[in-house]
Amino acid sequence: MNMTRRGFGALAAAAISTPGLAAAASKRTAQRLIKPPRLRPGDLVGLVAPGGYASDRIIEKSVQNIEALGLRVKVGTYLRAVHGNYAGSVQQRLADLHAMFADPEVKMIWPVRGGSGCISLLAGLDYALIRRNPKILLGYSDITALHLAIHNRAGLVGFHGPVASSTLADYSREHMLAVLCEPRTTYTVPMAPENAVKAQTAPQFAIRTLTQGVATGPLMGGNLSLLAALCGTPYAPDFRDGLLFVEEVDEAPYRIDRWMTQLDLAYGLDKAAGVMVGVCEDCVPKPGERGLNLDETLDQHLKPLTVPAVTGYSIGHIRHQFTIPVGVRARLDTAAQTVTLLEPAVL
């Protein structure tokens, strides 16, 4: 990312209010983007649970999904561990992640689910180990914390997409495998037609363009609550001059307003090259509760922007979602309703 005079001024101002941010941002800017090797038929996939605990049903479904893709499975030592609502202690979850990164036979690490708890791992992750052993890490929701921290501290591309226990629709499978297995110079992803059909009865699936245009930049984002939680930490994402994408599920609009405001205060949403909001399922006020609806809430933050801004894209806690390589340069075209990767995400 080129540092403009405006960008330098904003960085200096942020450093005054957030100690250590300037050093962290400088480290991010200098970090070389590392791409993992592509996924091939028969590759070994490491199955882990870095966040919420994994039930036997979820584990069985994950194994079936992996084998149905023509891949092999290695189960984490502590995959079935339980510590409250987490999948084992912090030490156990770190041990499984480190073991998978260190194993030369494991080519992809696939969490069984998101849940919560990934943010607790960030201070203990061995980023030097990860940098030496770049691998595909695929998942969404709480896995956002891992993607952003690893990209920040190790420079590795992460993949915001289905977790291992997801029910893989044809759309999700097609675009997931294309991104993970085929290092194309450019690759264009249209939004899921199935979501357009759902939009006829479920407005949250409708694509809305708040500001039209074409924007390019590195893809940066994930689950909105995690993005906000990382603000002010050494693992925070820097989406300035990038394509910011966010998704959320089962949260009241006033919380979404708070988190969007936090991102705006931390970096300035107008500093992004473009903003994409995914399908936010069940993000409505409680029955009988006064409040803005989801569209009204998002409009407060997106309508003032002069950069391309859209909602309802095929991202998030939905069956028909596409896989987004965090850190890879892409182009958002609001008229075509597409996202085009401008470089391969894998080697």
Give CA 278 to chain center in angstroms: 11
Q: What is the DSSP letter of 38?
A: P
Pair of tokens at residue 308 = 């391309």
Burial 226-235 (b: 16+ CB within 10 A, else e): bbbbbbbbbb
Active-site entry in 141, 165, 166, 314: 141
Crossing angle between the packed helical segments 294-302 and 253-266, to the nearest 10 degrees: 10
* φ, ψ of residue 253 in degrees (nearest 5): -55, -30
DSSP 210: E
* Element spanning 217, H or E: strand 214-223
What is the greatest pairwise CA distance in the chain? 55
Query: Is 98 an annotated catalytic residue?
Result: no
288: exposed, middle or buried (C-beta count within 10 Å: 0-12, 13-18, 19+)? exposed
At position 339, the amino acid (one-letter code) is: V
Element (H or E) spanning 218, and its range? strand 214-223
CB 71 within 8 A of CB 79: no
The answer to whether 145 and 237 are in contact (CB under 8 A) is no
Active-site residue (options: 166, 247, 248, 320): 247
Q: Is-catalytic flag, 175?
A: no
- CA distances to 31, 41, 146, 257, 306 from 131, rounded to whole Å, are 11, 24, 14, 35, 37
User: What distance in Å separates the CA atoms of residue 274 and residue 280, rounded to the nearest whole number?
Assistant: 18
| Cβ neighbours of residue 36 closer than 8 Å, sequence gap 6 or more | 134, 135, 136, 156, 157, 346, 347
Catalytic, out of 147, 151, 160, 317: 317
CA distance 260 to 257: 5
Q: What residues are labeled active site?
A: 141, 247, 317
